[in-house]
């Protein structure tokens, strides 16, 4: 017995020695790896949670502050996930252009996997043959220039109905967020689903989907604590919402399948997305088998993400216009000159409204819909700006910070659409100081879908109405606080008072922020109105065709997206392989967050980065393609937002018409400069308080 006990003791001590040797070897290898690799600077992390505690309620702002200490590229650990954060245009360019292929995939996140059919959507699908085929389908079949143009009547019809609703609200307080949400929902549902969908069931379903999507899931960042998500119910709620949304989409699909040829022939509508995708399912020559789950993922993404980003941008842009009366007045002047007394500004008019376009671009600069873009993950080790980035590292581009970088933008926190006049900045994502829709392979393909909606709505609202904040609030007192979520929304609703009416969450957030900036900056509002009025030439409405001539409108929206990036931290990415990033080694599996919000406000990129100055987007090449990495409201690279071309037209059109039709002011004597611009973090960064304005018709 004693001999046996001695043997046990010997065995135990030997086993302990082996463990100690293994531990020492592991530590030595780890230490040697870190010393051989030039890893990006990192703030001190805590056990288990890493740097999660440093994100705060507004991650785009928190990451911008951290970047000022640790540099334009830093490595955080969100739980156990290594996450590279890029907060400069230079770093964004390296990620979205120079090393785009290395950074083109998406991390696997629990909730998006549940809500988007295993991440089968364009935004969240991992890089590979499936994603390439899917994006090709979206770009060529759903969001081609010809297809987007074919929906012009839908956009103009719904914009006209919105203007009529505003006209019927004479003397009342209007929640612009609700108004823009209804507009974008109606447009996108008609285009994507073939009919308008509303009512308590649908509205509750969308709200539940967005709430589920915006919830932080512990398991994605601390895998061994994934049970926490089940205990607190976040996974269960996501599955419930996914199941209910799936039933809703099945109903829509069955309606289309059972629609007979006679009904289809009688319809005056263009083929909707479901029609097109069902047709592709039957096409054996396409070389791509589109499954039912993939079809539903595409429709859901277009519907939910498109509505959110467009509505967000409309709200932010209108907020900027109200907060900046100069911009509002200028935009209204442009809209009225273009309209020439017509009832409505048409899409055709929008091409002649450069100030409207500048307003939208300036709004997107300040209020980037996805301030951190959509996260990426490296698929291989890469050397980035002298740093080693390992494959599997998650990547975040802070487009919000880039859009407010004072080194890139003069008076970067001011709403000055003039900065986007007479420059080459566009929505192609090739100017990395302005990335409202991302850049590179994963840039948002839907930008040309959304921009006409925004421009047409804005043009007709400013053309038809004057708006002011209620309760005697001054324009400068408009609350511009952000709420972080799927996009950056205004934390408070944008409420306006419509004193007199004349005439009849990607976009609503941007519109509210842009209108807030316009009200807060009367100079910008006046300049934008002048541009719109000149383009409108007395017509009743600004058309999408006019938008291309409204350079200042585009600058306003870009500036708004810079300051109020809807997705402040973009969507997280995950490295597929070890990569060298700006001299740092980033390991495969690292989650990546891009603080687009911080990039948009980076004083080294944007002069006076916290000021709303659309002029910074004039005469430059910044566009929505996600290739200018100091401006990333919609991300960049392969994983940039595919719906950017859908939302920007919505934003520009709405903003152009609003500025053209109406004068807006803060109610109850509130000064423009006192407009509260506090943000609230959520699915998007929203205004913390409503944007309330008084609206007066221009004619």
pLDDT one-digit tens code per residue, 322-367: 888 888 889 998 998 988 888 899 999 999 999 999 999 999 999 9
Residue 57 CB: number of other CB atoms within 10 A?
14
Average pLDDT estimate for 54-64: 91
pLDDT at 508: 76
Pick the closest to residue 620 from 551, 550, 530 (CA basis): 551
What are 130-145's pLDDT values in tens digits? 999 999 988 888 888 8
Q: Residue 73 pairs with which residues in a beta bridge?
A: 86
Annotate 342-363 with b (16+ C-beta within 10 A) or e (fewer).
Answer: bbbbbbbbbbbbbbbbbbbbbb
Residue 315 CA to residue 401 CA, distance in Å, equals 20
Euclidean distance between CA atoms 194 and 249, whole angstroms = 12
Q: For residue range 624-678, list pLDDT tens digits in order.
A: 777 778 888 877 777 776 666 667 777 888 888 888 888 877 777 788 777 788 8
Annotated binding-site residues read 444
Average pLDDT (688-695) is 80
* Residue 188 DSSP SS3: helix
- The answer, as to whether pTM is greater than 0.75, is no
Residue 584, CA distances (Å) to 42, 50, 105, 388 in order: 11, 18, 19, 3
Instruction: Name which of 121, 118, 122 is nearest 108 in CA terms.
Output: 118
More confident residue, 680 or 408: 408
445-454 pLDDT, tens digit each = 888 888 999 9
Per-residue pLDDT at 175: 86
Mean pLDDT of the chain: 83
Convert the pLDDT of each residue in 419-465 to its tens digit: 999 888 888 888 899 999 898 888 888 888 889 999 999 999 988 88
Superfamily assignment of 56-697 in CATH? Cytochrome P450 (1.10.630.10)
Span 154-176, pLDDT tens digits: 999 999 999 888 887 766 778 88
pLDDT at 240 over 70: yes
Known binding-site positions for heme: 444
Q: Are 622 and 659 in contact (CB under 8 A)?
A: no
Task: Tell whether the model's pLDDT for residue 152 goes beyond 80.
Answer: yes
pLDDT at residue 486 above 70? no
Which H helix or E strand runs over 396? strand 394-397
CB 67 within 8 A of CB 372: no
pLDDT at 398: 95
DSSP state of 309: H
Cα(347)–Cα(10) distance, integer angstroms: 85
């Amino acid at each position: 017995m004693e001999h046996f006990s001695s043997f046990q003791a010997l065995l135990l001590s030997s086993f302990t020695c082996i463990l100690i040797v293994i531990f020492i070897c592991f530590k030595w290898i780890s230490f040697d790896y870190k010393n051989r690799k030039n890893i990006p600077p990192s703030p001190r992390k805590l056990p288990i949670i890493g740097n999660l505690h440093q994100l705060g309620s507004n991650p785009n702002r928190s990451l911008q502050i951290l970047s000022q200490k640790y540099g334009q590229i830093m490595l955080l650990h969100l739980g156990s996930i290594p996450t590279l954060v890029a907060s400069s245009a230079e770093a964004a360019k390296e990620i979205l252009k120079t090393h785009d292929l290395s950074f083109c995939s998406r991390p696997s996140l629990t909730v998006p996997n549940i809500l988007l059919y295993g991440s089968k959507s364009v935004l969240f699908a991992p890089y590979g043959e499936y994603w390439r085929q899917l994006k090709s389908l979206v770009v060529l079949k759903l969001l081609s220039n010809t297809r987007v143009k074919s929906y012009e009547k839908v956009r103009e019809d719904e914009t006209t109905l919105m203007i009529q609703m505003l006209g019927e609200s004479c003397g009342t307080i209007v929640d612009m967020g609700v108004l823009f949400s209804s507009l974008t929902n109606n447009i996108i549902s008609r285009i994507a689903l073939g009919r308008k969908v509303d009512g308590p069931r649908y509205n509750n379903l969308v709200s539940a989907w967005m709430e589920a999507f915006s919830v932080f899931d512990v398991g994605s960042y601390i895998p061994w604590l994934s049970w926490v998500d089940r205990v607190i119910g976040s996974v269960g709620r996501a599955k419930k919402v996914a199941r209910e949304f799936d039933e809703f989409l099945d109903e829509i699909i069955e309606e289309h399948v059972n629609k007979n040829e006679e009904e289809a022939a009688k319809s005056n509508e263009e083929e909707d997305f479901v029609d097109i995708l069902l047709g592709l399912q039957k096409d054996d020559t396409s070389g791509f088998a589109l499954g039912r789950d993939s079809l539903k993922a595409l429709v859901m993404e277009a519907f939910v993400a498109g509505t959110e980003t467009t509505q967000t941008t409309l709200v932010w842009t209108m907020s900027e216009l109200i907060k900046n009366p100069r911009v509002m007045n200028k935009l209204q002047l442009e809209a009225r000159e273009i309209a020439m007394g017509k009832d409505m500004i048409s899409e055709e008019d929008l091409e002649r409204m450069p100030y409207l376009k500048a307003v939208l671009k300036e709004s997107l600069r300040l209020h980037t819909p996805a301030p951190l873009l959509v996260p990426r993950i490296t698929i291989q080790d890469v050397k980035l700006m002298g740093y080693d980035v390992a494959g599997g590292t998650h990547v975040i581009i802070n487009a919000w910070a880039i859009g407010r970088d004072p080194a890139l933008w003069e008076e970067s926190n001011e709403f000055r659409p003039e900065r986007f006049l007479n420059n080459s900045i566009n929505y192609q994502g090739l100017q990395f100081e302005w990335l409202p829709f991302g850049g590179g392979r994963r840039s948002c393909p839907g930008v040309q879908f959304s921009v006409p909606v925004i421009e047409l709505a804005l043009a007709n609202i400013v053309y038809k109405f004057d708006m002011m904040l209620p309760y005697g609030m001054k324009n400068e007192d408009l609350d511009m606080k952000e709420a972080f979520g799927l996009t950056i929304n205004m934390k408070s609703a944008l409420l306006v008072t419509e004193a007199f009416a004349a005439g009849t969450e990607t976009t609503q957030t941007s519109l509210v922020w842009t209108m807030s900036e316009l009200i807060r900056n009367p100079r910008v509002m006046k300049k934008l109105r002048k541009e719109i009025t000149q383009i409108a030439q007395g017509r009743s409405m600004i058309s999408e065709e006019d938008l291309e001539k409204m350079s200042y409108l585009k600058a306003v929206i870009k500036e708004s997206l810079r300051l109020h990036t809807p997705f402040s931290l973009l969507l997280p990415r995950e490295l597929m392989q070890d990569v060298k990033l700006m001299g740092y080694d980033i390991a495969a599996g690292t989650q990546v967050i891009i603080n687009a919000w911080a990039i948009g406000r980076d004083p080294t990129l944007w002069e006076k980065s916290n000021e709303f100055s659309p002029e910074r987007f004039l005469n430059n090449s910044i566009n929505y393609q996600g290739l200018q990495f100091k401006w990333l409201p919609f991300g960049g690279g392969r994983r940039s937002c595919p719906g950017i071309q859908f939302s920007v037209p919505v934003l520009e059109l709405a903003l152009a018409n609003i500025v053209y039709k109406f004068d807006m002011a803060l109610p109850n004597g509130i000064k423009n400069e006192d407009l509260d611009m506090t943000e609230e973090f959520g699915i998007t960064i929203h205004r913390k308080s409503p944007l309330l304005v008084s609206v007066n018709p221009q004619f």
